[in-house]
Chain A
Amino acid sequence: AQSVTQLGSHVSVSEGALVLLRCNYSSSVPPYLFWYVQYPNQGLQLLLKYTTGATLVKGINGFEAEFKKSETSFHLTKPSAHMSDAAEYFCAVSAPRAAGNKLTFGGGTRVLVKP
């Protein structure tokens, strides 16, 4: 079984400030981890993913995330927020090669960027 917990359903940051979105997971096997972004009335767009190898992964739009096995975390960061970063962000986990390989999503974090 696998699960994802995103701390904070809403995050408000000032334009230019650091964005930090927290994600903790549980998985019975080494996981694949993902961050997706969703704009209003749209589907999900992949920001970045961790499968194997380097634990610091860089994604699109200046985002990056670090896989920390000891902390079972995969927090998402961006050094400087932009107004266009206002959206809903979802952390997700899947178990490689598991039956169906389904994605399990966290509850989501809505980011508000203040000018």
Chain B
Amino acid sequence: GAVVSQHPSRVICKSGTSVKIECRSLDFQATTMFWYRQFPKQSLMLMATSNEGSKATYEQGVEKDKFLINHASLTLSTLTVTSAHPEDSSFYICSARGTSGFTGELFFGEGSRLTVL
């Protein structure tokens, strides 16, 4: 099946710094990628939809200036958590949908655990 890779898988940073998480589709082109946030023992909450070559669409309540999303190519989307604070600590997961055909299936990355000290 299609492979989506996230990097880094774990990151620890100091409060006030910015952290970039990459999401790559390794064997297919992804016109649309989705970024989710997952708190411990909770479900996935959609943060934003990332479309190649255009601005991301953010869900209600998600600060677009806090969570910068860039989808510069058909295989790469990045999420930058700016001026991170401890409350931003979470598990961030991306998913991608291919360009050819559609059955509704999304392919998920392995997730990136962010810890802000």
Could you tell me which A residues sit within 8 Å of B by CB distance? 32, 34, 36, 41-46, 49, 51, 90, 94, 96-97, 100-108, 110
CA distance A103 to B33 in the complex (A): 12
Residues B49 and A102 in contact, CB atoms below 8 Å apart: yes
Closest chain B CB from A13 CB (angstroms):
19
Residues of A within 8 A of B41 (CB): 110
Residues of B within 8 A of A94 (CB): 104
Partner of B34, one of A32, A34, A103: A103
Interface string of B3-29 (1 = CB under 8 A from A): 010100100000000000000000000
Number of interface residues of B (CB under 8 A): 28
In the complex formed, the residue of B with least CB distance to A101 is: B104
Could you tell me which B residues sit within 8 Å of A by CB distance? 1, 4, 6, 9, 32, 34, 41-44, 46, 49, 57, 91, 93, 95, 97, 102-111, 113
Complex A-B: 6 CB contacts under 8 Å: A34-B105, A46-B1, A46-B105, A90-B43, A100-B57, A101-B104
Residues of A within 8 A of B105 (CB): 34, 46, 49
CA distance A70 to B97 in the complex (A): 30
- Say yes or no: A101-B43 contact (C-beta < 8 A), given A34-B105, A51-B103: no
Residues of B within 8 A of A41 (CB): 9, 91, 111, 113
Closest chain A CB from B107 CB (angstroms):
8
Closest chain A CB from B29 CB (angstroms):
17
Closest chain B CB from A11 CB (angstroms):
14
In the complex formed, the residue of B with least CB distance to A6 is: B43
Residues of A within 8 A of B97 (CB): 101
Among B43, B93, B107, the most chain A Cβ lie within 10 Å of the Cβ of B43
Beyond A34-B105, A44-B44, A51-B103, 9 additional contacts (C-beta under 8 Å) are A32-B104, A43-B110, A46-B107, A49-B104, A100-B32, A103-B34, A103-B106, A107-B43, A108-B42
- Say yes or no: A106-B43 contact (C-beta < 8 A), given A43-B93, A49-B103, A94-B104: yes
Residues of B within 8 A of A90 (CB): 43-44
Among B32, B42, B44, B97, the most chain A Cβ lie within 10 Å of the Cβ of B44
